[in-house]
Amino acid sequence: MHVILNSFQLPLEQPVAVFALLLLVILAAPLVLHRFRIPGIVGLILAGVALGPHGFGVLEKNSAINLFGTVGLLYIMFLAGLDLELNDFLRNRHRSGWFGLLTFTVPFVLGYLVCRYLLGYEQVASLLTASMFSTHTLISYPIVSRLGLSKNEAVTIAVGGTIFTDTLVLILLAVFTRMEGAGIDMMYWLRFSLSLLAFSVIVLWGFPFVARYFFKWINDQTSHYIFTLAMVFLAALMSEWAGVEPIIGAFLAGLALNRLIPHASVLMNRIEFVGNALFIPIFLISVGMIIDLQVLTKGPEALIVAGVLSATALASKWLAAWLTQRMLKLSPIDRNLIFGLSSSHAAATLAVILVGFRLGILDENVLNGTIVLILITCLVSSFATEAAARKMVLSHKQQQAAQQPAVEQRVMVSLSNPNTIQQLMDLALVIQQEKCRWPIYPISVIMQEDENTASLANSKKLLEQAAHVATAANRQVEGHTFVDINISNGLLHAANELDATEIIIGWHGEKKTTDLIFGDILDTLISKTRLMVLVNRLVQPVNTIKRIVVVVPENAEYETGFGRWVELSARLARQTSSKLFFYSDTSTFEAIQTHLRKHKIFVNLEHQEFVEWQDLPVISQIVGDNDLFMVINGRKGSISHSRELDRIPDYIAKHINQTNFILIYPEQYPAEDVE
């Protein structure tokens, strides 16, 4: 009985009781408020207000809550860097820079004028408070991530601008803190600049180097997650050593590991799951626990200051978003989404005001007004982001419905060797379209003469292993076993029955002749089906690929399946953040560029003139250990086919032993069916 009474003593101190209550709030708050069409984020913040020390006093903002809250904030920034499409981010870096400049300058100038001339504060107090208006926290980022908009241009601009403005504000905060102590001189700026430079170099260049080798040689998925988390917090710690806030380090860690963690991967799914299920919700609850609504009862002056600060914060951020829209020629929905993401104030804002309060620069009214500002801006940010994001998703779906794509992707994976299932399924996960509504189809073919209990049990084991890989990445999978007179007929039967659009098969050994390596399976397959066939051997995880070298035959742009393999190559490059290096003739490369521009697919492209297949050995020799070598091989009778292409499998078998390669036979209708 004594233990039970202690469990209900307020504020709760027993760890089990505290954690159980947090889990119940995380579960119940979004479900309850969803009925009223209120974002779940709002429910978590309000729950923090009610349960916190300034509400009913159920929870105390102790070290455990602070720890989980800090982890959640760093997790949000890490996911923001990890979710960015690097090619789009680099392409939009100037646009992000303009927004960052506007969302820092406009609130700073407007905030200074309001504090100096409307509220009558001293100059230093006005400057410090104005810097608070410039900062913001990506409280509502989980909303756009949940709705699949993390790679949207407006989101990319908002996230990039957040890092720009928060870095400037936090540098100002470091300056004010330094002014309290030893003062600022040239030596301080020199040390600060060198430490910031060293920190950036270590994270952006050193972390990917270490991570690539870790992912390449350690196959345990649990170790991958722990390693990733360790990198995030090491980067956050190093950013503190460099003199800036940990959120900068967490974001840079996301950028550094972006290329090594494809969005369609088991590791990415686990990272998002743990963050969205636990760390980020507790951070939102901890934000609510900061808020003290009793400040509204401390006289009219407190109410006036709180109202002026909140109105200035929202108006200045909206004005910055509007100027960004006009300058960058964005849509009103883009503007509203940028405003929603950038209008919330939380951790950094409170840090700035607390520094001023501790130094005696700001009074209690500003501190109390800032707490009210945090509540109001977080609520407005959540509602604005949710509304804009839903409109954007609906607009995208209407555009997709109007386009009515002719072929829906259905990826089939042939399994036979348990040692290659992980690589084959990883490739299928990466090349599958993000919005594909069909599952991945792993299949196992058993020859009739080998059909027995042991063979069927082995087939079941292969399919279960493939299903484990796909479901861990939160992808649908539907496995099948086919019995036929031979393997090639079984693959054809499976492709027809499943209505497949791509067939992925592995390289089945290291023998010395084409017939023994690929056997009659590949010859029969490419002669009897028009589907795209990918023959591959990956000697390392697909996420550790740095560059994709694609050799393209002449006239490939005139083939039926040209657009599909171009988009597949680009999808593979985007998922792995790799550079696409094409060896082809000039006209073919121009057609590739035109197709990508037409479909608004942006990847990092390079090109080298290539027309003589006798030069293929030279190209294969410059392919590095972390490169993927892809050859587009035309079928016999097609306009891009030549006799040199018939020798490609034999050359790969004899000379490319330790290289990642994919041999692609594009979708091709029989010659007699093409006018």
Provide the CATH number for the domain around residue 654: 3.40.50
pLDDT exceeding 70 applies to what percent of the chain?
89
At which of 487, 517, 536 does a domain end? 536
Tell me: do 392 and 411 sit in the same domain: no
Q: What is the pLDDT of residue 413?
A: 92
Q: What is the DSSP track for 75-100?
A: HHHHHHHHHS-HHHHHHTHHHHHHHH
Give CA separation, 401 vs 437, 500, 567, in Å: 14, 22, 19
Tell me: do 103 and 132 sit in the same domain: yes
Q: What is the DSSP track for 164-180?
A: HHHHHHHHHHHHHHHHH
Residues forming beta bridges with residue 443, ordered by sequence position: 414, 480
Q: Give CA–CA dist 90/156, Å, rounded.
A: 10
Better-predicted residue by pLDDT, 672 or 602: 602
pLDDT bin (cut points 50, 70, 90) of residue 513 is very low
Q: Give CA–CA dist 665/484, Å, rounded.
A: 24
At which of 536, 568, 590 does a domain end? 536
pLDDT greater than 50 at residue 312: yes
Q: What is the pLDDT of residue 207?
A: 92
As a whole number, mean pLDDT of residues 212-233 equals 89
Q: What is the pLDDT of residue 315?
A: 93
pLDDT bin (cut points 50, 70, 90) of residue 412 is very high
Residue 539 makes CB contacts below 8 A (sequence gap 6+) with 658, 659, 660
Residue 164 makes CB contacts below 8 A (sequence gap 6+) with 96, 97, 99, 100, 101, 104
Q: How many CA atoms lie within 13 A of 226 on its CB side?
A: 6
pLDDT greater than 70 at residue 175: no
Q: Which residue has the tokens 């002026």?
A: 308
Q: What is the pLDDT of residue 230?
A: 93
Q: What is the pLDDT of residue 179?
A: 60
Tell me: do 550 and 532 sit in the same domain: no
Closest CA to 378 of 22, 35, 41, 36: 41
Summarised one tens digit per residue, pLDDT across range 87-106 is 767 777 788 888 888 999 99
> Across the chain, how many H-helices and E-strands are there?
29, 10
Task: Tell me how crowded residue 95 is: count the other CB atoms within 10 A of its CB.
Answer: 19
Q: What is the pLDDT of residue 296?
A: 65
**Tokens in use for 120?**
């009558």
Q: What is the pLDDT of residue 231?
A: 94
Q: Give CA–CA dist 490/493, Å, rounded.
A: 5
Tell me: do 546 and 507 sit in the same domain: no
Tell me: do 440 and 370 sit in the same domain: no
pLDDT greater than 80 at residue 184: no
Tell me: do 532 and 544 sit in the same domain: no
pLDDT greater than 70 at residue 45: yes
Residues forming beta bridges with residue 482, ordered by sequence position: 445
At which of 397, 414, 443 does a domain end? 397
3-state secondary structure at position 37: coil
* Average pLDDT along the chain: 81
pLDDT greater than 50 at residue 671: no
Q: Which residue has the tokens 């006798």?
A: 614
Angle at 571 between CA 567 and CA 575, to 5 degrees: 175
Q: What is the enclosing helix (H) or strand (E) of 481?
A: strand 480-484
Which amino acid appears at position 568 of this protein? L
Better-predicted residue by pLDDT, 571 or 87: 571
Tell me: do 494 and 414 sit in the same domain: yes
pLDDT bin (cut points 50, 70, 90) of residue 142 is confident
As a whole number, mean pLDDT of residues 507-528 equals 60
Tell me: do 391 and 523 sit in the same domain: no
pLDDT greater than 70 at residue 574: yes
Range of 189-198, 395-404, 578-587 with top mean pLDDT: 578-587
Give CA separation, 311 vs 121, 308, 380, 387, 566, in Å: 17, 5, 11, 20, 50
**Tokens in use for 202?**
């270590």
Residues forming beta bridges with residue 630, ordered by sequence position: 550, 662
Tell me: do 509 and 361 sit in the same domain: no
Q: What is the pLDDT of residue 278?
A: 87
Tell me: do 54 and 99 sit in the same domain: yes
Contact (CB, 8 A) for 374 and 134: no
pLDDT bin (cut points 50, 70, 90) of residue 180 is low
Q: What is the pLDDT of residue 226?
A: 93
Tell me: do 276 and 329 sit in the same domain: yes
Closest CA to 637 of 628, 646, 629: 646
pLDDT exceeding 90 applies to what percent of the chain?
10
Q: What is the pLDDT of residue 335?
A: 92
Summarised one tens digit per residue, pLDDT across range 3-21 is 554 556 777 878 888 888 8
pLDDT greater than 80 at residue 578: yes
pLDDT greater than 70 at residue 675: no
pLDDT greater than 80 at residue 672: no
Q: Give CA–CA dist 383/39, Å, rounded.
A: 7
pLDDT greater than 60 at residue 510: no
Which ranges of 92-220 would DSSP assign to H, the alpha helix?
A: 93-113, 123-134, 141-146, 153-180, 186-201, 207-217
Backbone φ and ψ of 240, nearest 5° = -65, -40
Domain CATH code at residue 420: 3.40.50.620
Tell me: do 545 and 449 sit in the same domain: no
pLDDT greater than 50 at residue 222: yes
Contact (CB, 8 A) for 302 and 357: no
Range of the domain at 70: 2-397
The domain total for the chain is 3
